[in-house]
Every structure is written in structure tokens, then in C-alpha cells.
Amino acid sequence: KEEVKEEEKVEVKEEKAKEEEVKMEEEKAEEKEGAGESKGDANGDVKMEGGNAEGGETAEVKADEEKKRPEKKSKYEVLIPIPKTSGSLVERAKEFYGLTDEFPIDQLFSSSATSNKVYFVSAAVKQLLEADGKGQLHTVHAGVKVLEKNPTKGDIFDYRLRQEGVPFLLPFMTKRILKLNNADFTTLLKKRCMLMADLQTEGAEEKVREMGGGCTLFVLDREEGDPVFLAGWRGTAQLTLFVSKYELQALSHKFIGHKEDKEAGSKEGGKKA
């Protein structure tokens, strides 16, 4: 009996020891879970903060990349009015080419803030462009190019005349016009350049030298018909044309070809007589 009691006591002690071990394990497990939750919260906070930081960095990087990306050139143009302030491009052009007060300066527009190209538009188009204050009107084509920037050295006015825009400026021009006789005009038309010393028109060499450097309009000196002109440049010692080869071909056919036909006809008439 005593042996049975001792065995029962041992079993009870073992059960108590097991229960205590289980309790200890449960307590440890609970402590681990609590620590895990706190770590998880902490990690969650860190991740969130990191996520925000990374998101902020990503946004900044994207913003920098967008700034570095070159702007895509649109196939449309937004024509903007050119400022009329003192010393502005418009005022300098008016002074250089001697444009009279009757010239509608407010009809000059540019396709960019730098005003590399200047367009002349009609009064109706001017009103339409001015009404587009937000620049939402995408212009495919409007007006005629009258001036274009031509980088030069020194204080020379660096905007030259465009051949196609001369008809809109010529009636108001009082400066930078050089009238040439048939011989000089034909030489320029054929060779596209000539020395000032080779000018045969009376008084032309002296006038062009006094004129100074810069864009010059060479006009055929004749009394009948519409004006015939060539936009060019007066350099140090040479006169040069700023006319495309297609326009020169058209002018040559119209002026030189017609002249040669007349001369040939007169020679044939003389032979028959």
C-alpha cells in the first residue's frame, strides 16, 4: 500500500511539473505573440514611412525626369502678338526700314517668344488671334513671313526681309531701298551676288555705301508695271541675295526670259526689213 501511495505521489508531482511546464510554454508563447505584434506594428510603421519616403522620392525623380525631357515640338503654331514697347523688335524694325506710321504694326505676330520669324496677318485674323487669350487656337498656317532673324556681328539690325513678305512692307518703306538699272539687276539675278564697286547704276555705289550694313531691298528702276525687287544683304564690299532658287528661276523666266524674247523678236524684225 505504501508503495502504491508513493507511486501516486510521484505521478501527481509529475503531472504538476507538466502543468507548470505547459503554463510556462503558454506564457512564453503569449510573450512571443505580443512581441511579434509590437514588432509587426513597428515594422508596419517603418514600412509605411519608408513607403511614403520612397513614394516622395519617386515623385521627385519623376518630376525631375519630366523637367529634363525635351518638349515635343507641336505641328501647330501659336501666333502671339509682338510687344510694342520702346526699343522692342517692332520699333527697331520700323526705324531700320523707315516704315511710315500708316503701316499696321499691330498686325505683326510671332510664332515664339524669341520672335525668330515675324508674320504679317490680315486685320480679321488679328482679331481672331487676339481673342484666343489662352493659346488654344492651334494655327496650321496664318499670315505671311515678312521678317526673319539673321544673326550678325556688331550693331547691325539682324532681321532680314523675306522675299514673299516684301509686297506688304514695300509701300510703307522709306529706307534700305536701292534702285538698280537693268544691267545691275540682271547681274544680281543671274549671279546672286556682286561687288559694290561693280555697280553701273548712277549714284548706286555711293548710296549703298552710305546705307551701311544689313538687309537691303534691290528694286528694278522702271516707270511701268508692278515693282520688281530682290531681298538681299549689304556686306562689307559685296551685295548678296536672300532669295530661294525657285523664286529666282521664276523671276529670271519672267524678267530675263521676257526681255530676251523681245530682243530676239526685234533682231528678227530687223533682218526681215
Q: Give the per-residue pLDDT at 61.
A: 56
Starting at the edge strand found earlier in the chain, the sheet holding 177-180 runs 177-180, 214-220, 229-234, 238-241, 193-195
Q: Give the per-residue pLDDT at 34.
A: 60
Alpha-carbon span 157 to 89, nearest angstrom? 10
The CA–CA distances, whole Å, from 144 to 111, 180, 246 equal 12, 26, 18
Q: 87, 157, 85, 160: which is closest to 118 by C-alpha?
A: 160
Question: By CB neighbour count within 10 A (0-12 exposed, 13-18 middle, 19+ buried), where does 63 fall?
Answer: exposed
Q: Give the per-residue pLDDT at 42.
A: 45
Q: Give the per-residue pLDDT at 33.
A: 58
> 104-160 pLDDT, tens per residue?
999 999 877 778 899 999 999 999 888 877 767 777 788 999 999 998 888 899 999
Alpha-carbon span 74 to 64, nearest angstrom? 22
By DSSP bridging, strand 214-220 and strand 177-180 are parallel
CB within 8 A of 85, min separation 6: which ones? 91
Q: Give the per-residue pLDDT at 44.
A: 45
Q: Give the per-residue pLDDT at 264.
A: 47
What are the backbone dihedrals phi and psi of residue 245, each rounded to the nearest 5 degrees, phi first? -65, -30
Mean pLDDT per 10-residue interval, the chain, length 273 residues: 52 63 66 55 43 53 58 63 82 95 93 85 91 75 92 88 96 97 94 96 96 96 90 95 91 71 49 49
Q: Give the per-residue pLDDT at 19.
A: 65
Q: How many CB atoms neighbour CB 215 within 10 A?
A: 23
